[in-house]
Amino acid sequence: MAHAMAGLAKWLQREEWQEPMVEVFVEHVGPACHDAGVDIDDLEEVIGREAFIDAWGAACEDFCTRTLDDGRNFAENYLKRRGWKESPANRAFIEGLRHSVLSLYEVIAVDPGRHFTVQDLVRGGEPVQVDEPNRSRQVEQGELLGLRLFRVRQRMRTSEIILVFSPPYAEDLQGSLDAFVAGAKTNAPEIAAELGRPDAAEQIEALTSLELVLPGAAPLFTDIWLRQVLDDLLDPEDFVDRPPPRILNSDGDDIEFATAVYELAPGVGDPELDRVLADFAWVEPAPPPEQPPVQLEIDNPYDGWTVTWHWVDHEAEPDPDSDEEEELGDDGIMRVNPRSQSGLPVLGDLSRRGDTLRLAANTRTRLERGRALLEPALGDRVGPPEVSVQSMSEFLTHILRLTRNEDGTPKDDRQG
């Protein structure tokens, strides 16, 4: 139901929802970032775009289930004011998400292309068959997943975000949930007082159960999952002992992170760039992102770029059926070969952010080839570029410096 989530994501950009959504996001990722010494404004750079979208998406889905202090619910507000634009299936999906609960499941059976079956490890009960043909090709038997299940037109579906846990972190999550329930029981007198019924504390404590508190425990799932991601990335001993992975592009060259950033001339926007670039066979429009670039009003140089065009090898043989961008060989070397929607190899990307245009490629050589094509095409519409090239080792070292002191301990600028 990516289209339903796209509508919600667009609605989320309205000013009235920005502040409460960011507060929920910080609630989800703040504790893990604090303990790892990672500033939230550096999180996407540290864990990568895909993992960041998972974290942001988990917080968004939680936000869809919450009733704010003023009594509003984001999903209900969207359906009331824009639901008429959605199909019946999308409306049913959003309504299901609105009342969904995040829990921990084990995949106990998979029928690829049809469905998979999970067991709730938190609440127990009978196994549940999930009717998701695409998801059934992605999950594996024995995996431990944090996901939301709900019925849409008599079929059991999942939300967009699935958090995968390794066994040790799944155990940590279950222990944290137990502690969460215990904490709720401890707070029973305070809850009773707030309700004006101090004499009801014992009854409230007796009624407090995992089933009742689980809807409010979604930030715990993201917290434990993010700790797992950060631990995998930022273990200082692992950084020291493990050489950087060897990753080659389709030319057989080692991957580099190469960019040229241009200032656009006044008045030059997407329509003019589209018109100019449309005349060249080496440019192909990029599909819109599944979710818009996340903006947190923070100074993050990797935040906010939208890939608008692909630089493609237009002389190559198109392979529109290929969906394998990465392939790990028997020699332990990863080879990357992304392709455009038409099936042509992607050599680089053109992205916009504000009044700047960025050409990105995965080697210095490709970047220079791209510049030789782009700069004559755009002429005086762009100024001289600011060029940056980092090797894989330099990139990993940069991440390490962002998050660790020289002795390997986490940085934490929040403590004096």
Domain boundaries, the chain: 2-165, 247-393
| Share in percent of the chain as helix, strand, coil (round to 5) | 45, 20, 35
Distance CA 103, CA 120 (A): 7
Do the Cβ atoms of 368 and 385 come closer than 8 Å? no
Q: Which of 262, 252, 398 is nearest to 337 (CA)?
A: 252
> pLDDT at position 144, please?
95
Residue 366, classed as helix, strand or coil, is helix
Q: In what order do the strands lie in the sheet with 256-263?
A: 283-285, 306-312, 346-353, 356-361, 256-263, 386-391
Dist. CA 330–CA 308, nearest whole Å: 35
Segment-wise mean pLDDT, segments of 10 residues, the chain, 416 residues: 68 88 93 88 86 92 91 90 84 90 94 92 90 88 94 88 92 81 60 58 54 80 93 62 65 84 87 84 75 42 64 80 55 73 86 86 90 91 88 65 56 44
Q: Do 100 and 133 form a contact (C-beta atoms < 8 A)?
A: no
Q: Please report the beta strands in 320-392, taking only residues with DSSP state E, as ranges in sequence order.
A: 326-328, 334-336, 346-353, 356-361, 386-391
pTM to 2 decimal places: 0.58
Q: Which SS3 state, helix, strand or coil, does residue 230 take?
A: helix
Cβ-contact 236, 404 below 8 angstroms? yes
Q: Are strands 386-391 and 256-263 parallel, antiparallel or unpaired?
A: antiparallel
Report the C-alpha gap between 243 and 229 in whole angstroms: 19
Which of 125, 124, 126, 127 has its CA nearest to residue 116? 127
- Give the torsion sign (CA, 394, 396, 397, 398): positive
Residue with tokens 């403590």: 415
Using CA atoms, how far residue 308 sits from 98, 161, 311, 405, in Å, is 32, 25, 10, 37
- Of 52, 135, 60, 61, nearest in space to 99 by CA: 61
> Please, which residues have CB within 8 angstroms of residue 32's CB and are 6 or more apart in sequence?
223, 226, 227, 230
Burial class for 360, CB neighbours closer than 10 Å (0-12, 13-18, 19+): buried
- H-run or E-run covering 64: helix 49-65
Q: What is the pLDDT of residue 63?
A: 93
234: buried, middle or exposed (CB in 10 Å: 19+, 13-18, 0-12)?
A: buried
Closest C-alpha to 147, from 181, 171, 176, 121: 121
User: How many whole angstroms separate alpha carbon 202 and alpha carbon 189?
Assistant: 8
Tokens 């604090």 correspond to what residue? Answer: 34
CA 160/CA 275 separation, integer angstroms = 35
Decide: helix, strand or coil at residue 259: strand
Q: Where are the alpha helices (DSSP H) in 114-267?
A: 133-136, 167-186, 188-194, 201-207, 210-213, 218-234, 236-241
Region of 142 (left: φ > 0; alpha: ψ -120 to 50; beta: rest) is left
Which is nearest to 100 in space by CA: 29, 21, 180, 156?
A: 156
In the block, residue with structure tokens 């220079």: 368
Take residue 219 and report the two structure tokens written for it.
């930030």
pLDDT reported for residue 120: 92
Tell me the C-alpha distance between 370 and 349, whole Å.
Answer: 9
The pLDDT score that the predictor gives to residue 412 is 52
**DSSP code, position 363:** S
Instruction: Give Cα 70 distance to the centre of its chain.
Output: 29
DSSP state of 248: E
